[in-house]
Structure 1
């Protein structure tokens, strides 16, 4: 089932590399608009939010649309790793507000080691 939006976390990437990747994947990116710590642009018709150091050294990439080539966070994270060569993390499935803390700490890690489930305490 396609997720209504996508959020992944990238290590050691910058928004310029992200824009180049998204331009290829989604369509040309508008220039980034900075609002406080947050950067926003449109990649094709998809609203994009980039939040540097959202969780420690990890940067959040949020695609606010279901109209992407990826069905879910994991397929986007795998594409990001393939394109950028940086470790990527994402939730294992759609996140629900009512999940307990233990489920909320379950993450997928995509790296040179492949895909694995990890515990990542972000809160």
Structure 2
């Protein structure tokens, strides 16, 4: 089932929003100019609203695609594509998380890096 939106986390030292914009332009359609609002940057890639939040969790940047109209069915597919295009470690939830699932599953994440893919426990709070 296709997720209603996508959120992945990219390791900070290795990527910035300009590199992400180049990748998104190829994957989704050309990016509009980034508009900075507080700590966040927003643009549109094709018809998809994009939010980039530097250092959202420690040294990890959040990339949020607010649409189900992307080439990826879920966070993991997007994370794989981001890693392939940007060669940067990416983390994402292993599936759609809902609050009712509780805190235990909130710490389950997929890590995609040069070492391959693995499920990890990542305490983000």
Q: TM-score, normalised by structure 2?
A: 0.97
1:108 matched residue in structure 2 = 110
1:97 aligns with 2:103: no
User: What SS does the aligned partner of 1:42 have?
Assistant: strand
* 1:9 corresponding residue in structure 2: 9
**1:58 alignment counterpart:** 60
Question: Structure 2: how far apart are the matches of 1:13 and 1:73?
Answer: 18
Unaligned runs of 5+ in 2: none
SS at match of 1:95: coil
Provide the secondary structure at the position in 2 that maps to 1:82: helix
- In the TM superposition, residue 100 of structure 1 has moved relative to its aligned partner by 1.4
Q: How many residues align?
A: 123
Which has the larger helix fraction? 2
Match of 1:98, SS state, is helix
